[in-house]
Amino acid sequence: MWKDLGLNLEKHDVLLNALAKGYGDLFMTQKNRPAGMGYFDFVISEVHGLRIKELVDRKKAGKKIIGAFCLYVPEELVYAADATMVGLCGGADFSIPDAETVLPRNICPLVKSFFGFKVGATCPYFNSCDMVVGETTCDAKKKVYEVLADYTPTYVMEIPHKVDTEQSKALWLSEIKLFKQQMETLTGNVIEKDSLKEAIRLINEKKKAMKRVSDTRKASPTPISGLDALLVNQVSFYDDVNRFTLKTNELADELEKRNADGVGVGDPSKPRLMFSGCPMAIPNWKLHSIIESTGVPVVAEESCIGSRYFTDLVEPKGDSMDSLLEAIWDRYHNISCACFTPNDDRVTKVVDMAREYNASGVVYNVLQYCHTYNIEAIKVDKALKAAGVPMLKVETDYGSEDVEQIRTRVEAFTEMLRPV
Partner 1 sequence: MAVAGVDIGAVATKVAILADGKVLSFQILPSGYDGNGAARRALRVALEESHLARGDIDFIVSTGYGRKVFSEANKSVTEITAHAEGAKAVCPSARTILDIGGQDSKAISLTEDGQVANFVMNDRCAAGTGRFIEVMARVLHVRVAKMGELALKSANPARINSMCTVFSESEVISLLTNGRSREDVAAGLCESIARRVSIMVRYVGVRESVVFSGGVAKNVGMVAALEKELKTKLLIPPEPQIIGAFGAATIAQKSLEKEEVATSSLRVEGGYHVTAIPAGPLPRGSVPPRVEGAAPRLGDSTG
- Closest CB to partner 1 among 186 and 416? 416
If you compute the radius of gyration of the chain from its CA atoms, what whole number of angstroms results? 21
- Closest CB to partner 1 among 322 and 415? 415
Whether the CB-CB separation of 191 and 208 falls below 8 Å is answered with: no
Q: How far is the CB of 289 from partner 1 (least distance, A)?
A: 16
Q: How far is the CB of 282 from partner 1 (least distance, A)?
A: 24
Other CB atoms within a 10 A radius of the CB of residue 61 amount to 7
Sign of CA dihedral 119, 125, 126, 128: positive
Q: How far is the CB of 394 from partner 1 (least distance, A)?
A: 9
Residues sharing a CB contact under 8 Å with residue 275, sequence separation 6 or more, in sequence order: 226, 287, 288, 291, 298, 300, 301, 302, 303, 306, 362, 363, 365
- Write the CA distances from 413 to 23, 40, 286, 385, 409, integer angstroms: 27, 31, 17, 14, 6
For residue 392, list its beta bridge partners.
363
At position 268, the amino acid (one-letter code) is P
Q: How far is the CB of 402 from partner 1 (least distance, A)?
A: 4
Q: How far is the CB of 409 from partner 1 (least distance, A)?
A: 6
Q: What are the residues binding partner 1 (CB under 8 A)?
A: 390, 395, 401-402, 404-405, 408-409, 411-412, 415-416, 419-420
- Distance separating alpha carbons of residues 297 and 295, to the nearest angstrom: 7
Q: How far is the CB of 283 from partner 1 (least distance, A)?
A: 21
- Closest CB to partner 1 among 45 and 400? 400
Supply the DSSP symbol for 409.
H
Strand arrangement of the beta sheet that strand 131-135 belongs to = 84-87, 65-68, 131-135, 154-157
Q: How far is the CB of 324 from partner 1 (least distance, A)?
A: 48
- Closest CB to partner 1 among 54 and 402? 402
| 57 three-state secondary structure | helix
- Closest CB to partner 1 among 3 and 105? 105
Strand arrangement of the beta sheet that strand 273-277 belongs to = 298-302, 273-277, 361-367, 391-396
Element (H, E) at 67: strand 65-68
- Closest CB to partner 1 among 168 and 293? 293
Supply the DSSP symbol for 235.
H
- Closest CB to partner 1 among 348 and 400? 400
Whether the CB-CB separation of 336 and 343 falls below 8 Å is answered with: yes
- Closest CB to partner 1 among 242 and 405? 405
Q: How far is the CB of 115 from partner 1 (least distance, A)?
A: 24
Closest CA to 244 of 195, 280, 203: 203
Decide: residue 142, CB within 10 A, 0-12 exposed, 13-18 middle, 19+ buried: middle
Q: How far is the CB of 279 from partner 1 (least distance, A)?
A: 21
- Closest CB to partner 1 among 62 and 419? 419
- Distance separating alpha carbons of residues 260 and 247, to the nearest angstrom: 20
